Structure 1
Amino acid sequence: MKLRFSLLACAWLLTAETVLHAETVAPAGKDSRLNWQVVSRWQIEATPVDIVHSLDGKMVFILDNQHRILVYNNQGQLQGRIPVSEGVTRIDIAPQGEALYLIDGKENSFTSLAMSYVMDIDITGSPFKGKVDAPVTLAIFTDFE
């Protein structure tokens, strides 16, 4: 018995120059060993130079030609921009997503940026203790059902 495996390749097609005419391409013949499908595509605001994707699949970091790192979530929503020096040509991410690494070819330097995220949590209708208009709200999640 001969087994045939399919490989689903998730390609992040991010440039405006790339145009796809079909969403799915079937194998070209008996000898084809690759099936692929476009999972998502979004426009970015500048020409991409380099890209890294977090291991958990939640964040995409794109170095652009305007000396910025564009930070997107996996739905293609821009989360923020990080300005970088003119010589940065490559980026990478730490395994846990806690740091972003920059290689600067002009200055022959390596930079490590600590990464942390601010998340908005909707607490409308949740019980609370203290002033309604307090400048800081602590949310404690104790019910994990």
Structure 2
Amino acid sequence: MILTARRFFGCFPMIFAALLLTAPCQAGVDWEVSNTLKTPAAPLDIAASLDGKWTFVLAEGGRLLVYSEKGALEETISVDPAMDRIAASGLQAANIPDRIYLSSTKNKTVQTVSLDFSVPINIQGAPFLGPENGPVVIVAFSDFECPYCGTVGGLFEEALAKYPKEVKVVFKQFPLAMH
């Protein structure tokens, strides 16, 4: 097949398109440091919860440091000092508890640490039933207009009748979005 000027220039649009598609494109990445954690010991490894609310730092000396999304050190957990790697799983929004997996390359071991985060609730001044200093406190977040919230009242009365000196039931108003 002889290449003529007509064939060459007939292929020109296809050659031009191929060159255009393979040309390097210029793209950029905008970035910024959003947070810096100052750890009390040298970090060995780091992991984050799937929802981004927690950062877990495995530090020298067998310490697992738990930071909130705002960068505050919330908890320090003692772990085996031989542990040198960390991974995280769990999703609180889906009711899957947070778990931390620690591993030691030296000892060839893996440990699972299950985490259950608790938040202190201010009940000062809230209405309650039962003894003021009861050792067991049940805090009921409820809504006066919720048809389902009223069904648990019987359970509270039952608990108070069975354990009159041990159980304190505290009411906290929690309006539901459906109103």
TM-score (norm 1): 0.71
1:53 aligns with 2:45: no
CA distances 1:50-77 after superposition (whole Å, capped 9, x unpaired): 1111111111110011221101111122
1:1-145 equivalence runs, <5 A: 31-96=26-91, 97-143=97-143, 144-145=176-177
Structure 1 CA distance, aligned partners of 2:76 and 2:37? 17
The structure richer in helix per residue is 2
Following superposition, the deviation at residue 31 of structure 1 comes to 3.2
Following superposition, the deviation at residue 129 of structure 1 comes to 1.1
Off by >6 Å, runs of 4+ in structure 1? none
Structure 2 CA distance, aligned partners of 1:140 and 1:61? 31
Following superposition, the deviation at residue 136 of structure 1 comes to 2.2
TM-score (norm 2): 0.59
Deviates more, 1:104-113 or 1:31-40: 31-40
Structure 2 gaps of 5+ residues are 1-24, 92-96, 144-175
Q: Percent identity?
A: 31
The size of the alignment, in residue pairs, is: 116
Structure 2 CA distance, aligned partners of 1:138 and 1:43? 37
Following superposition, the deviation at residue 40 of structure 1 comes to 2.2
Structure 2 CA distance, aligned partners of 1:56 and 1:132? 38
Structure 1 gaps of 5+ residues are 1-29
